[in-house]
Amino acid sequence: MKIGGHDWPLEPFGKHIWRGRMESGQLLAWVRAVREEGGQLVALWGSDDRHLDGGFGIHAACLTSAGLVWMSSDLPADAPRYPDLAHIFPQAGRMQRAVYDLLGIQAIDAVDTRKWLRHDAWAENEFPLRRDFSGHSPAPLAHDTYPFIRVEGEGVHEIAVGPIHAGTIEPGHFRFSVIGERVLRLEQRGGYAHKGTEKRFEGMDLATGARLAGRVSGDSHSAYVWAYCMAVEAATASTVPQRGIWMRALFLEIERIANHLGDLGGLGNDVALSFGLMQFWRLKEDWLRLAARLFGHRYLFDCMVPGGVAVDIDDPGKAELIGLSHRIETEIRQLKAIYDEHATLQDRFAHTGVCQPELAAQLGLTGLAGRASAQAWDARVQFPQEPYEQLNVSMATQRGGDVLARAEVRFSELHESLRLVRDILLRMPAGALHAPLAAVSASCEGLGWVEGWRGEVIVAVRIGRDGRLDRVHPHDPSWRNWPLVEVGMPGNIVADFPLINKSFNLSYSGPDL
């Protein structure tokens, strides 16, 4: 396979997905080749392979012209180290720090080696994802300190926000360095929602694993379960019935619509237009209630299972869903006209929290925020999995990179997803909803890749000889986007932070794992 002008030994590993292995010394040349042809580093994670007669493993998932490539290197058990990748792909920085916190695998010559996921729950010389980690129950909390980067100069002061915020949002810490109202620098600290998710997967059966995968970031439940199922089905070489696959796409689009409706209301609220909040949340509530009535859960939790889906839709149900999709489409058109005409809202949205396209490309901004900064990537369009290859998704992009652009992308995607829901319902084939997974006799691996409402969700799975989960790494798009919130903030005023943050609406739980 030719990538970045060189040939690489890659095996097909699924639709648009490739698998490669190389010496860790070659990793740098590999990611450089990816960068040169305009690709991106999507995820970086590690593994303890000592129980499989190996040492440790370092794994990188890269988006290339050929699709998604899962590249791995074996590292010696006594000194697991690999070359720093953050100087080529800055988004690797936090991932490298997390890999060290969890596994003690070191990036050689990395600039930032501060802890990331580790606070005070386990000691510096302990690594929870190592197989011989002993601390399975809570140890006493140690004293936690973290060296934030200090801005100095006359009149500069710091505002510390979180981990508990003023509104109903997830826990995280933001450190603002400001002069007057203007922000000079924003630094984020994450890890507050770290709940040992990856450790929890170890030894779990495949069905329970799907439920846990769906709770990595609850607002992206369908995206995560689908990616997990795709990985498990690829690993076990199992086939999913066509109707099951189409139902999954239906669930994913229902989830996208619910989240976009909520965000557009929230954005209105953040510029004091509570009318927007109430109108969009009224529509969202109608949408959630119909989902609950048709599928048994407002957010479709556990509707997808390995091998297919657990619930079906009948003709009256289809008619109801199509009917509501038409009504919502009409209403959001009216609401868009109001947002477009509302001077205060436009004034607050435009030129606020700008991520320039060049910077977005450099730092790897992804998903809907990426598309609002001219990063024209959508896995449903470039590398569609079934059934998206038959759906002709039209991608929404903007160049502005501000709050307004991110709102515009949401409006466009709402219309497109409402159309997709109708299209899927009308064209969905009849037949079985799920099929049993093929039996496992040897250790096997799979990768799932799904364009969720926030961006691409990746789940890498290794199943052990006993047919239970051995290593699972779920990867949230927020890993790549959080650093851009830091970059989009300087020059803005502190009071605009909630608005900017909401316009990205990133997950804390997803990357905190």
Partner 1 sequence: MPTPLILYKIFKAGRVSEAPPEADLSLRTRVQTLHADILKVFGQAVAIRHIDAGSCNGCELEIHALNGPHYNLDGRGVKFVASPRHADLLLVTGPLSRNMETALKRAYDATPEPKWVVAMGDCGCSGGLFGESYATRGKVSSVIPVDVEVPGCPPTPIALLQGILAAVSPAGGNTTDPDAPGRANE
In the bound complex, what is the minimum distance in angstroms from residue 434's beta carbon to partner 1? 21
The alpha carbon of 339 is separated from its chain's Cα centroid by a whole number of angstroms, namely 28
CA–CA dist 14, 211 (Å, integer): 23
Tell me the one-letter amino acid at 278. Answer: M
Among 125, 145, 168, 441, binds partner 1 (CB under 8 A): 168
Exposure string of 127-140, with b = 16+ CB inside 10 Å and e = fewer, is bbbbeebeeeeeee
Region from 27-35, 158-166, 174-182, 411-419 binding partner 1, contact rule CB under 8 A: 158-166
Give me the least distance between CB of 242 and partner 1, in Å please. 29
381: Cβ–Cβ under 8 A, 6 or more apart, which residues? Answer: 388, 393, 394, 395
Q: How far is the CB of 185 from partner 1 (least distance, A)?
A: 23
Enumerate residues 6+ apart whose C-beta is below 8 A from 241. 308, 431, 432, 433, 434, 435
| Contact track, partner 1, 129-148, x by CB under 8 A | ----x-xxxxx-x--x----
Query: Does the protein bind partner 1 through residue 338 (CB under 8 A)?
Result: yes
Instruction: For residues 151 and 185, give the distance between their C-alpha atoms in angstroms, rounded to a whole number.
Output: 8
Which residue in the set 1, 151, 169, 395 belongs to the binding site for partner 1 (CB under 8 A)? Answer: 169
Q: Quick one: the chain helix, strand, coil %, rounded to 5? A: 40, 20, 40
In this chain, which of 130, 342, 419, 422 binds partner 1, going by CB under 8 A?
A: 342
C-alpha 116/C-alpha 189 separation (Å) is 8
How do strand 469-475 and strand 456-463 relate by DSSP bridges? antiparallel
CB of 310 to partner 1, least distance (A): 15
Asked whether 31 and 85 are in contact (CB, 8 A), the reply is yes
User: Which of 17, 193 has the CB closer to partner 1?
Assistant: 193
Would you state the torsion angle of the CA atoms of residues 299, 300, 304, 308, taken in this order, to the nearest 10 degrees? -140
The 3-state DSSP class for residue 195 equals coil
329 lines the binding site for partner 1 (CB under 8 A): no
Categorise residue 5: left if φ over 0, alpha if ψ from -120 to 50, beta otherwise. Answer: left
Nearest CB to partner 1, comparing residues 125 and 137: 137
Nearer to partner 1 among residue 104 and residue 357 (C-beta): 104
- Among the listed residues 325, 447, 509, 511, the single contact to partner 1 using CB under 8 A: 509
Q: Which stretch binds partner 1 (CB under 8 A): 15-23, 115-123, 239-247, 316-324?
A: 115-123
- The tokens of 395 are what? 């991608």
Cβ distance to partner 1 smaller for residue 171 or 490: 171
Q: Could you say whether residue 120 binds partner 1 (CB under 8 A)?
A: yes
CB of 484 closer than 8 Å to CB of 365? yes
Least Å from the CB of residue 488 to partner 1: 22
Question: Does 282 sit near partner 1 (CB under 8 A)?
Answer: yes
Among 62, 69, 247, 288, binds partner 1 (CB under 8 A): 288
364 within 8 A of 41, measured Cβ to Cβ: yes
Smallest gap from Cβ 439 to partner 1, in A, equals 25
**122 is written with which tokens?**
């386990």
Contact between 21 and partner 1 (CB under 8 A)? no
Site string for partner 1, 192-221 (x = CB under 8 A): xxxxxx-xx-------x--xx--xxxxx-x
What six digits make up the tokens of 111? 């600039």
Rounded-to-integer distance, Cα 80 and Cα 58, Å: 9
- Pick one of 176, 228, 449, 508: the residue that binds partner 1 (CB under 8 A): 508
The structure tokens 């709102």 sit at: 407
Verify binding: residue 341, partner 1, rule CB under 8 A: yes
**Number of alpha helices (DSSP H) and beta strands (DSSP E) in the chain:** 16, 17
Q: In terms of CB distance, is 125 or 334 closer to partner 1?
A: 334
DSSP state of 51: G
Best CA proximity match to 364, nearest among 217, 498, 482? 482
Give the number of residues in contact with partner 1, rule: CB under 8 A.
63
Among 37, 285, 445, 486, binds partner 1 (CB under 8 A): 285
For partner 1, the closer CB: 116 or 449: 116
Minimum distance, C-beta of residue 356 to partner 1, in the bound complex (Å)? 29
**Which residue in the set 94, 119, 471, 480 belongs to the binding site for partner 1 (CB under 8 A)?**
119
Let me know how long the chain is. Answer: 513
Judged by CB under 8 A, the stretch of 161-169, 368-376, 449-457, 458-466 that binds partner 1 is: 161-169
Q: Do 254 and 421 form a contact (C-beta atoms < 8 A)?
A: yes
Q: Which residues bind partner 1 (CB under 8 A)?
A: 119-122, 128, 133, 135-139, 141, 144, 163-164, 166-171, 191-197, 199-200, 208, 211-212, 215-219, 221, 262, 266, 275, 278-279, 281-282, 284-285, 288, 292, 298-299, 301, 334-335, 337-338, 341-342, 507-509, 512
